[in-house]
Chain A
Amino acid sequence: MTRAGKNTLYRALLIGPALLAITIFMIVPLCLMAYISFRGRDYSGGVLWDQFSAEAYVRLFFERELDGTLALNFNYMFIILRSVWLSFLTMVISLAVGLPVAMFMATRDRKWKAVLVFMVTLPFWTNLLVRNYAWILLLRDHGTINSTLMWLGVISEPLPLLHNAFAVAVGLTYSFLPFMVLPIYSSLEKMDFRLVEASFDLYANRWQTIRRVILPLAFPGIVAGCVLVFVPALGAYITPELLGGGKTLMIGNLIGFQFGAARNWPFGAALGLFLLALVLISLGAYARRYRGELEGSQ
């Protein structure tokens, strides 16, 4: 066999198995999902394979009346908008909280840096379900926060903290905050902090230094962090399910619902494709400008 031929064979044997596994069990299903989103709905829970239908997409904006006419219905759009809004809120809160933490971490000496990075990473590897469940214990009517506040005499009735958008926002921030801290930290860690001294020597004050020196240098990390928080928050399933109490639905729950009680696969497939498109657009826009930063930050 020729050398080039051998090289190709060797490459195929090594890369092939993993590539095939992801292609067959992920890319093919995603293509199938796109196909199903244009098929008719079988009310017993399946798909009418031989029938083209755009009904799933119509359903995003309209409701079909009994006589077949369409009426505008923004219920689903509202859930999608809420998902985007909650994810955006999560991103902004994470940024506000994460930036000073990353700054603190980046200015420690080596030993402390290692300890702090470990402490930030640790929660990511613990069970997401358990971490969200912990917030149920805190936010319930008779939970830790309400009991403490009542014991202190601040309030006499428990505050409604659980099963609303507030609880979901808290849970999402809690779940994804480390993804904001770490990329910003890795940008700032490379920074030469003598620039800050130089800025002060040139009579800049603290605020000007942050705005003109630190933020521009941390920018790639900030963008990476925003993407890494926004994307998983947008597709969140567990947090709205547990902390939203079935009332504050997000896209993920709406998709899941189509494969459970609602049994509407084409609609679920259309929603899944919609979410996938949203994610790929935000990742694509990011990757074009900041190639390599995402991988470099991990």
Chain B
Amino acid sequence: MRINPFRSRAFPGDARHWPGLFTATAAFFAYVYLPILILVALSFNENRTVTVWTGFSLDWYAMAFANRDIVSAATNSLIIASIASVTATALATLAALRMASKDRFFGKTGINAVFALPITVPEIVPAVATLMFFASLGLTFGLGTVIIGHIVFCIPFAYLPIRARLEGMDPKIGEAAADLYATPVQAFWRVTLPQLIPGILSGLVLAFIISLDDFVTTFFLGGAGSTTLPIYIFGLVRTGVTPEVNAISSLMLLLSLSLVSLSLFLGRDQNRKSGPG
């Protein structure tokens, strides 16, 4: 029987219809989404005072696109996110291929803990530690140092979904390939990899978003010429709220949302293929 999730007319033991649950959930989603919606709405407001609605306008978007600093910050963001996410995903894929197998070897649990380390520790700690490390080595802070920092924290975001995908694969398919006289190398290129591609792409997109959105690591490891969009926005916000910030922020939201939808779409597709029925 199909039950309408928003109607409650049942006996008290039916937990689906407890009073207050729906109201609490509605309030929760309002709390989560209203601030974002207000931000986006205000980015289309023609008034400079930001909070009073006077009329629709695309001026702030035009201003943002005409601003050379913003364009160069966006370019930096894309360069860093592309290099960091591709490198991290490559490293993570190699590691996941070995770590996903069922056999146990010395240090396996420890290695898994190391791979999760960048997302378990608050970002500020490794950021300042790496700052001191690079400074002791005498490196010049800029795009290079930022990219290294990003690669490190992107690894777990790519590693965890790829390993999960590998663990979810049916080992019988690999065995079938071996039965059909495929060498391990052939079995990898023809059987394992094609199945894994959606998982890799999904991990890649997640790593890309995380890198694109990063503030703390970029802030501490950056130098002249490595200003990214979040760093630029932070600078503007500290000096005052302008409608231009609303426009760039809305564009960043749009970008993240489309990328995460893409990643989840890739992830969903693979579950269907791997599912038993």
**Across-interface contacts of A15 in B (CB, < 8 A):** 94-95, 98-99, 111
Q: Is A242 an interface residue (CB 8 A)?
A: yes
Instruction: Label chain A's interface by main secondary structure.
Output: helix
Tally of contacts, chain A with chain B, CB under 8 A: 256
Q: B192-214, CB under 8 A of A: which get 1 and which 0?
A: 00000000000000100100010
Q: Is A147 an interface residue (CB 8 A)?
A: yes
In the bound assembly, the distance between CA atoms of A268 and B130 in angstroms comes to 13
Chain B nearest Cβ from A284, distance in angstroms: 11
Most buried by A among B16, B39, B116, B132: B132
A231–B51 CB distance below 8 A: no
Q: Is A159 an interface residue (CB 8 A)?
A: no
**Among B61-69, B173-181, B256-264, the stretch in contact with A:** B256-264
Interface magnitude class on chain B: 35 or more
**Across-interface contacts of A269 in B (CB, < 8 A):** 128-129, 132
Q: Is B73 an interface residue (CB 8 A)?
A: no
In the bound assembly, the distance between CA atoms of A232 and B170 in angstroms comes to 36
Q: B100-138, CB under 8 A of A: which get 1 and which 0?
A: 000001000001001111101111111011111101100
B260–A27 CB distance below 8 A: no
Q: Is A104 an interface residue (CB 8 A)?
A: yes
B95–A14 CB distance below 8 A: yes
B28–A101 CB distance below 8 A: yes
In the bound assembly, the distance between CA atoms of A140 and B241 in angstroms comes to 10
Q: Is B2 an interface residue (CB 8 A)?
A: yes
Q: B7-46, CB under 8 A of A: which get 1 and which 0?
A: 0000111111010111011001101110110110010000
Chain A nearest Cβ from B136, distance in angstroms: 7
A231–B117 CB distance below 8 A: no
Most buried by A among B11, B24, B51, B241: B51
Instruction: Label chain B's interface by main secondary structure.
Output: helix
**Across-interface contacts of A19 in B (CB, < 8 A):** 95, 111, 114-115
**Across-interface contacts of B133 in A (CB, < 8 A):** 25, 28-29, 32
**Among A58-66, A74-82, A116-124, the stretch in contact with B:** A116-124
Could you tell me which residues of chain A, from 245 to 285, have a CB within 8 Å of some CB in chain B? 252, 255-256, 258-259, 265, 268-269, 272, 275-276, 279, 283
Could you tell me which residues of chain B, from 155 to 178, have a CB within 8 Å of some CB in chain A? 155, 159-160
A298–B160 CB distance below 8 A: yes
Q: A10-B98, A126-B257 are in contact. Are A268 and B233 (CB under 8 A)?
A: no
Chain B nearest Cβ from A84, distance in angstroms: 13
Chain B nearest Cβ from A41, distance in angstroms: 13
Among A26, A214, A295, which residue has its beta carbon within 8 angstroms of that of B126?
A26
B122–A134 CB distance below 8 A: no
Could you tell me which residues of chain A, from 163 to 194, have a CB within 8 Å of some CB in chain B? 174, 177-178, 181, 193
B128–A18 CB distance below 8 A: no
Chain A nearest Cβ from B162, distance in angstroms: 11
Q: Is A21 an interface residue (CB 8 A)?
A: yes
Could you tell me which residues of chain B, from 65 to 100, have a CB within 8 Å of some CB in chain A? 91-92, 94-95, 97-99
Q: A112-B5, A196-B15, A256-B128 are in contact. Are A104 and B21 (CB under 8 A)?
A: yes
Q: Is B143 an interface residue (CB 8 A)?
A: no
B35–A134 CB distance below 8 A: yes
A138–B38 CB distance below 8 A: yes
Q: Is A235 an interface residue (CB 8 A)?
A: yes
Q: A26-B152, A127-B256 are in contact. Are A18 and B42 (CB under 8 A)?
A: no
A104–B24 CB distance below 8 A: yes
Among B52, B91, B98, which residue has its beta carbon within 8 angstroms of that of A11?
B98
In the bound assembly, the distance between CA atoms of A272 and B233 in angstroms comes to 26
Q: Is A23 an interface residue (CB 8 A)?
A: yes
A-B contacts, 25 of them at CB < 8 A, read A10-B98, A15-B94, A18-B95, A19-B115, A25-B148, A28-B133, A30-B129, A47-B132, A100-B24, A104-B24, A107-B16, A125-B206, A125-B209, A126-B253, A127-B253, A128-B215, A138-B35, A193-B15, A231-B122, A235-B124, A235-B125, A236-B122, A237-B216, A279-B125, A283-B120
Besides the known contacts A17-B94, A29-B132, A235-B123, 5 further A-B residue pairs in the complex with CB atoms under 8 A apart:
A26-B126, A26-B152, A29-B133, A101-B25, A237-B123
5 closest cross-chain pairs (CB), A and B: A235-B122, A200-B13, A100-B24, A29-B133, A29-B129
- CB within 8 Å of B: which residues of A? 10-11, 13-15, 17-19, 21-23, 25-30, 32-33, 36, 46-47, 97-98, 100-101, 103-105, 107-109, 112, 116, 118-123, 125-131, 133-138, 140, 142-144, 147, 174, 177-178, 181, 193, 196-197, 199-201, 206, 214, 231-232, 234-238, 242, 252, 255-256, 258-259, 265, 268-269, 272, 275-276, 279, 283, 295, 298
